[in-house]
Homo-oligomer: A and B are copies of this chain.
Amino acid sequence: MKSKLTTMADAISRFVEDGSTILIDGFTHLICFAAAHEIIRQRKRNLTLCRMTPDLIYDQMIAAGCASKVIFSWAGNPGAGSLFGLRRAIEKQIPGPLEVEEYSHFGLAARLIAGAANLPFYPVQSYLGSDLPEVNPRIRTVTCPYTERSIATVPALNPDIAIVHAQRADSDGNTQVWGITGIQKETAFAAKSVIVVVEELVDSKVIRSDPNRTLIPGMVVDAVVLEPLGCHPSYVQGYYDRDNDFYIAWGDISRDQSSLDRYLDEWIYGVGSRSEYVEKLGPDDVSRLKAELVLTTPVNYGY
């Protein structure tokens, strides 16, 4: 079979088209900034960006003019304040208007649970007494055929492209994740195309020594990209810590569009790839964030 291994530049240009609905996943963990930066560099436009937490990654893409719509459930800078890029787009239409489709965390997660299970809808025990259904016509209800009670529903979400960062995969795309796994598995099974980005490419024997650790099987993966430190300033359990200094600094960087533009020029347009970004970051930051070694107790798969 044709190899799935490729570069980030090739994967983004092949799979992400203007107007695509994309989901770069990772719930506060494994957030693939390397993919977002390449999308910004390739000046993709009119994207619908889906994520439970837009985080800095979508704040940057929105400020860079890549997005016409965002589907989300919590739009803050985790632990550190506001997403000014996203707010400027919604409050002041800068750099352009941004359509908003909003859920609670469980509501948006349920859209992906349904998408992965090939269900047209998912029932969610939520939204009673809240104003959210009044501003989102996609939140509807069904009557339970057993209790006769009404229960809220959300429709399936099937993104055109899912980009999932992980600790390791083999060249077939069998992908293993540990630490916080978020909604990555459902996202991969819900999406029409899947790009996996990893810190380490490993021999299939390593993956197959622990099959329960595999979150995403190669059969649903279209491309595999090796991109060490691909999540900075986010983190990868067992590899490097979250750059909290940067998350806090983002408040000042993003508070006005001009300083945010300067960041885009210097750190995204100003570098050609993630490896150049890492070089620019410098060895001090890289070693400051490097993870200590805390290994698991092995288990036996013999019979």
Q: Interface segment, A3-11, A40-48, A62-70, A207-215? A: A207-215
- Chain A 109-131 interface residues, beta-carbon cutoff 8 Å to B: 118-121, 123, 125
List B contacts of A149 (CB < 8 A).
Answer: 120
List B contacts of A298 (CB < 8 A).
Answer: 295-298
Distance between A3 CB and nearest chain B CB, rounded to angstroms: 23
**Smallest Cβ-Cβ distance to A146: which chain B residue:** B155
Does A292 reach chain B (CB closer than 8 Å)?
Answer: yes
Does A287 reach chain B (CB closer than 8 Å)?
Answer: no
Does A141 reach chain B (CB closer than 8 Å)?
Answer: yes
Distance between A157 CB and nearest chain B CB, rounded to angstroms: 12
Does A151 reach chain B (CB closer than 8 Å)?
Answer: yes
Does A181 reach chain B (CB closer than 8 Å)?
Answer: yes
Does A258 reach chain B (CB closer than 8 Å)?
Answer: no
Q: Interface segment, A225-233, A235-243, A277-285? A: A235-243
Does A294 reach chain B (CB closer than 8 Å)?
Answer: yes
- Known contacts A209-B296, A213-B212, A301-B178; is-contact A144 B167 (Cβ 8 Å): no
**Smallest Cβ-Cβ distance to A205: which chain B residue:** B297
Q: How far is the CA of A63 from the CA of B209 in the complex (A)?
A: 41
- Known contacts A142-B143, A212-B181; is-contact A300 B238 (Cβ 8 Å): yes
List B contacts of A144 (CB < 8 A).
Answer: 120-121, 142
Does A94 reach chain B (CB closer than 8 Å)?
Answer: no
List B contacts of A140 (CB < 8 A).
Answer: 145-146
Q: Ordered nearest first, which 5 A-B pairs have the shortest CB separation? A: A238-B300, A294-B302, A292-B302, A210-B296, A140-B145
B119 touching A125 by the CB < 8 A rule? Answer: yes
Q: How far is the CA of A301 from the CA of B167 in the complex (A)?
A: 11
B120 touching A147 by the CB < 8 A rule? Answer: yes
